[in-house]
Amino acid sequence: MKTRITELLGIKYPIFLSGMSWISVPKMVAAVSNAGGLGILATGPMDPEETRKAIREIRSLTDRPFGCNATLLMPGAAENAKILLQEQVPVINFALGKGDWLVKEAHKYGGKVFATVVNARHAKRAQDYGADGVIATGNEAAAHGEAVTTMVLIPSLANVLEIPVVAAGGIADGRGFAAALALGAEGVALGTRFMTTKESPLHKNFKDLSIELDVTDTLYSKRVDGIWCRVLRTKAAERAIKKGVDLPAAFVNSKDVARQMKMPYLKLFIGILASGLDNAMKMAYLANGFKAFQLATEEGDLDKGILPVGQATGLIHDEPTVAEVMDRIVAEAKQVQERLTAKLS
């Protein structure tokens, strides 16, 4: 299989593991890279020391290309991103912020940088400052897609960009993979499908729910973590959306975030207040969402945990290994190609 993504990154298949907090851990990253794709480490829950340790663990598990993400809106993200540069991570994926400085520094050692985008304006800006590609997140995706669906977003970006587009959102099998390529993408990023695999550390309670529930069983709201976010439909998610921001809980949870990130809480608190009321409210939502996502992923807490998941959860009916997912997707895509060739000939 050959696309601009496989040529650019030196990988066998243009299939990325999306960087999912508490799920895209070193073992998962290495499993996807070893199976021929590109594993991406989620650094959001990590402090710089943990990030460096995780990168070195990945290198002990695979000699294939891999990536790391940096969600620049998160507290401590810039410090984590600097570790990615120091460790000369082959591929850096950034989101929710301006990553021109990452592009500049990564290119010095031959690294590649992908911006996660949800519209043409952000994609063009990333291209202008030298990003090597974009990961385009459609509305169907887990967590932070926006209004435009993958079906429309991908060709709209392919029409105006010179750099390659990787499609994310609504893709869980070979049909989705083939469709994304037909729409103009050069690769795909999978989160929800890889979330329910043998290697995934996602708690069994939520793996079982992901297999059980349908394509209609997700919720999309700004009242989970302060940004438009798609999550699994559960009673906990419904309560959170109905209630909105819980400020006392946010105060407690922000302390937990600071402790986990090894940041002085007073510095974090003052910085948030100084950023303005709108941003402070967004950070309050973010603290509560961060805690709820962790409770779901690590502890399987069905009462308080909330799991970001895409509509493709309704297409998932089993828990294979990562390698089985990769082989299945590629084989199905080739079958789709054969069927389309017959129909279009």
Residue 310 or 260, more confident: 310
- pLDDT surpassing 60 at residue 271: no
Q: Are 305 and 236 in contact (CB under 8 A)?
A: yes
Closest CA to 50 of 59, 39, 42: 42
Helix axes 48-61, 26-34, angle to 10 degrees: 30
Q: Are 177 and 171 in contact (CB under 8 A)?
A: yes
Spatial separation of the C-alpha atoms in residues 191 and 208, rounded to whole Å? 16
Class of residue 129 by CB neighbours under 10 A (exposed 0-12, middle 13-18, buried 19+): middle
The most confident of 154-163, 222-231, 275-284, by mean pLDDT: 154-163
**Kind plus residue range of the DSSP H or E element containing 307:** none
Average pLDDT over residues 328-337: 97
- pLDDT surpassing 90 at residue 327: yes
**What is the per-residue pLDDT for 135?**
98
Q: 183-208 b/e with 16+ CB inside 10 Å = b?
A: bbbbbbbbbbbbbbbebbebbeebbe
**What is the per-residue pLDDT for 225?**
85
Q: Centre a 10 Å sphere on the Cβ of residue 340 and count the other Cβ atoms it contains.
A: 12
- DSSP class of 99: -
- Sketch out the chain's domains with CATH numbers: 4-201+324-344 (3.20.20.70), 204-299 (no CATH)
